[in-house]
């Protein structure tokens, strides 16, 4: 049986079940100020230090729409290829909670700012799939209740209260945990590209509500459960696997699935009911009378569109077509805009240094960025934006290999040094005298000496023990302190030994 994580199929006692998944992604809008107030939005500030009178819902305070948040929502909608609604309405979603100062959340309900769209996700088997977006709407975040600060009391931090969120609602088009993961990552990539959300799930600036149901193949949709506030791609996938299996167990035991809200517990790896149907809220949505309907014109949309960078799908296609990169390399390099920018800068520099067309050095550059650079960055937990080795210096290093100054082996050592010290390859090469010896005259002298010094091994080789060649190469490298060009050494040795 296939793995349900990628197949989306669960093998039950009575046959196969399909998983149907829809995601509601809450993405915090990047803006200086909150959705309806001028308070700052910086993460990690002292509790209750970024709270305006509006955010605290003081008597007589009124919301005013922050234009920048609207612009970001429109940009995101455009990046999702979605319909932009020039007329939208902010509603009030009424419920009581200690961290909801107004007693209602201002959110778009019936008339969202962005309508249907789609994103394309790449699957592991190399195929791709379009996932429908139902809508994107703007809403206020609530504050944060802190239950762990005092034995009997709950503390409330309102810094987050009123921050703009985009809720991106997918259609139930996702049919496996892997697809859900790929979709979430894709949305994160897109919003990061366009700078409308930092996509930082650890800090809570992006989180997902996951709707899961199961059904027999070919049947209509089953009853879904909503798993609230899952805050990593891995947890989303784990939660789906657990929840779908749970539902299959319930159904196969003759039970029915209750429409309910559940929480995912990453420690236990399970979902648990959050509130039962009896406690279900009647949110009493109605248009917020403090706000006029939101209207903007085509010009506003055009300006938002003009501000969009090249989007990841287009960039990936261009990397494949223009640079001849493999789909894998193109995918990895374009997953983050900074990586793609770094790569393109390096490639341009390398092409200039080498005098070769970019396409000729592109794959070599891609392999180095993905292998050496990303490897080191990951190990050191450093973002590419903070890479101690700049794109230009990376290109210089690669060129030193290509022009024969450094061997691949030496290049790795030099790169270690560059990464640790932040110095350039040429500085390090000059300082340590790390010039690869490719001069055949110089190397021939050394080879002659090595052969003369090791008559026993020479005897063995001549007796047909080809492996001894490696020994000689090693001796030559040792004699040159690793600076000999291995390719030239191999050629010269082969010639000498034959002769």
Partner 1 sequence: MSDLRDLKIAEARDGLRRGEYTSRELTAAHIEAMAPARELNIFITETADQALVMAEAADKRLKAGPAPSLTGIPLAIKDLFCTKGVRTTAGSRMLDEFVPTYESTVSANLWADGAVMLGKTNMDEFAMGSSNENSYFGPVLNPWRAAGSKDNLVPGGSSGGSAAAVAAKVAMGALGSDTGGSIRQPAAFTGTVGLKPTYGRCSRWGMVAFASSLDQAGPITRDVRDAAIMLTSMASYDAQDSTSIERPVPDYEAALSGDIRGLKVGIPEEYRIDGMPPEIEALWLEGEAWLKDAGAEMVPISLPHTSYALPTYYIVAPAEASSNLARYDGVRYGFRKPGTGGSLSDMYEATRGEGFGAEVQRRILIGTYVLSAGYYDAYYLKAQKVRTCIAEDFRQAFESVDVILTPTAPSAAFALGAKSADPIAMYLNDVFTVPASLAGLPGISVPAGRSAEGLPLGLQIIGRAFDEESVIRSAGVLEAAAGFDARPENWWDSAK
Where does this chain bind partner 1 (CB under 8 A)?
53, 56-65, 92, 94, 96-98, 101-104, 154, 156, 282, 284-286, 288-292
Strand 260-265 versus strand 225-230 pairing type = parallel
Nearer to partner 1 by Cβ, of 289 and 464: the residue is: 289
Least distance from partner 1 to the Cβ atom of residue 88, Å: 14
291 or 473, CB closer to partner 1?
A: 291
Q: If residue 128 lies in a helix (H) or strand (E), which one and from where to where?
A: strand 128-140
- The tokens for 206 are 């992006």
Q: Which long-range contacts (CB under 8 A, 24 or more apart) does 474-480 make?
A: 475/450, 476/443, 476/446, 476/447, 476/450, 479/446, 479/449, 479/450, 480/437, 480/443, 480/446
Work out how close the CB of 70 gets to partner 1 at its nearest, in angstroms, rounded to a whole number: 13
Q: What one-character DSSP code corresponds to residue 142?
A: -
Nearer to partner 1, 277 or 409 (CB): 277
- Using the minimum distance from each CB to partner 1, give the nearer residue, 281 or 478: 281
Q: For residues 61 and 358, which CB has a smaller minimum distance to partner 1 in the complex?
A: 61
Q: What is the DSSP code string of 257-301?
A: ---EEEEEETTTTEEEEEE-GGG------EE-TTSPPEE--HHHH
In angstroms, give the least distance from the CB of 207 to partner 1.
Answer: 23
Structure tokens given for 69: 């948040």
Helix, strand, coil shares of the chain, percent, nearest 5, are 40, 20, 35
Cα distance between residue 41 and residue 30, in whole Å: 9
Beta carbon of residue 147, minimum distance to partner 1 (angstroms, whole number):
11
- State how far the Cα of 137 lies from the Cα of 166, in Å rounded to an integer: 6
Shortest distance, position 292 Cβ to partner 1, whole Å = 6
Tokens 């007329």: give the residue.
87
- In the chain, the largest separation of any two C-alpha atoms, in whole Å, equals 99
H or E element: which one contains 365? helix 358-368
First to last CA, the chain: 61
Q: Provide the minimum distance between the beta carbon of 213 and partner 1 in the complex, in angstroms, as a whole number.
A: 23
* 478, HSE (Cβ side, Cα atoms, 13 Å): 8
Least CB distance from residue 62 to partner 1, whole Å? Answer: 5
Q: Which is nearer to partner 1, 290 or 459 (CB)?
A: 290
Cβ closer to partner 1: 66 or 189?
66
> Residue 346 has which token pair?
């390096």
CB of 48 to partner 1, least distance (A): 10
Shortest separation between residue 417's beta carbon and partner 1, angstroms: 57
Nearer to partner 1, 53 or 473 (CB): 53
DSSP 371: I
**What is the rounded CA–CA span in Å between residue 285 and residue 73?**
21
Q: What are phi and psi of 313, to 5 degrees?
A: -65, -45
In the complex with partner 1, the residue whose CB is nearer, 286 or 328, is 286
What is the C-alpha to C-alpha distance for residues 378 and 254, in angstroms, rounded to an integer?
A: 48
| Shortest distance, position 276 Cβ to partner 1, whole Å | 15
What minimum distance in Å lies between the beta carbon of 370 and partner 1? 50
Rounded to 10 deg, the angle between the 177-194 and 233-252 helix axes is 150
Nearer to partner 1, 88 or 339 (CB): 88
- For residue 249, count other CB atoms closer than 10 A to its CB: 13
Give me the least distance between CB of 98 and partner 1, in Å please.
5
Q: By C-beta, is 140 or 271 nearer to partner 1? A: 140
CB of 156 closer than 8 Å to CB of 98: yes
**Given the complex with partner 1, which of 58 and 123 has the nearer CB atom?**
58
The nearest distance, CB 287 to partner 1, in angstroms, is 9
Nearer to partner 1, 58 or 380 (CB): 58
Question: In which region does residue 481 sit, left (phi positive, over 0), alpha (psi from -120 to 50) or beta (all else)?
Answer: left
Cα radius of gyration (the chain): 30
Say how many C-beta atoms besides its own lie within 10 A of residue 277's C-beta: 10
Q: Which residues pair with 145 in a beta bridge?
A: 156
């Amino acid at each position: 049986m296939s793995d349900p994580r990628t197949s989306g199929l669960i093998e039950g006692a009575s046959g196969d079940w399909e998983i149907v998944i829809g995601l509601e992604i809450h993405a915090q809008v990047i803006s200086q100020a909150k959705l309806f107030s001028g308070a700052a939005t910086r993460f990690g500030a002292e509790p209750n230090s970024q709270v305006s009178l509006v955010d605290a819902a003081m008597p007589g305070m009124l919301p005013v729409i922050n234009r920048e948040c609207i612009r970001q929502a429109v940009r995101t909608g455009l990046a999702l290829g979605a319909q932009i609604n020039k007329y939208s309405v902010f509603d009030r979603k009424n419920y009581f909670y200690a961290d909801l100062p107004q007693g209602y959340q201002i959110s778009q309900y019936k008339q969202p700012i962005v309508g249907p769209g789609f994103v394309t996700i790449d699957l592991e088997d190399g195929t791709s799939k379009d996932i429908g977006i139902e809508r994107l709407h703007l809403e206020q975040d609530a504050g944060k209740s802190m239950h762990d600060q005092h034995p009997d009391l709950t503390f409330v931090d309102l810094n987050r209260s009123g921050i703009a969120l985009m809720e991106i609602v997918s259609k139930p088009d996702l049919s496996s945990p892997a697809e859900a993961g790929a979709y979430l990552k894709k949305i994160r990539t897109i919003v990061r590209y366009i700078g409308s959300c930092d996509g930082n799930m650890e800090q809570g600036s992006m989180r997902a509500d996951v709707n899961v149901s199961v059904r027999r193949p070919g049947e209509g949709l089953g009853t879904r459960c909503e798993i609230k506030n899952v805050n990593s791609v891995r947890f989303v996938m784990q939660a789906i696997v657990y929840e779908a299996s749970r539902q299959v167990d319930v159904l196969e035991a003759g039970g029915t699935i209750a429409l309910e809200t559940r929480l995912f517990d990453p420690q236990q790896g399970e979902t648990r009911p959050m509130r039962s149907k009896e406690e279900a809220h009647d949110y009493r949505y109605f248009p917020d009378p403090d706000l006029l309907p939101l209207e903007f014109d085509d010009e506003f949309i055009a300006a938002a569109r003009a501000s969009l960078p090249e989007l990841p799908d287009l960039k990936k296609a261009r990397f494949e077509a223009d640079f001849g990169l493999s789909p894998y390399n193109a995918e990895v390099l374009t997953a983050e805009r900074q990586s793609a920018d770094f790569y393109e800068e390096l490639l341009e520099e390398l092409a200039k240094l080498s005098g070769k067309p970019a396409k000729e050095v592109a794959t070599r550059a891609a392999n180095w960025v993905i292998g050496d650079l990303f490897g080191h960055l990951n190990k050191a937990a450093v973002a590419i934006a903070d890479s101690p080795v700049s794109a230009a210096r990376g290109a210089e290093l690669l060129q030193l290999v290509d022009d024969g100054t450094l061997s691949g082996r030496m290049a790795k050592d030099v790169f270690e040094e560059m990464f640790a010290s932040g110095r350039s390859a040429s500085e390090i090469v000059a300082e340590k005298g790390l010039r690869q010896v490719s001069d055949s005259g110089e190397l021939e002298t050394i080879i002659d000496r090595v052969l003369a010094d090791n008559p026993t091994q020479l005897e063995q080789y001549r007796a047909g023990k080809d492996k001894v060649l490696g020994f000689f190469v090693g001796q030559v490298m040792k004699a040159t302190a690793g600076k000999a060009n291995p390719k030239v050494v191999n050629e010269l040795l082969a010639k000498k030994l034959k002769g």
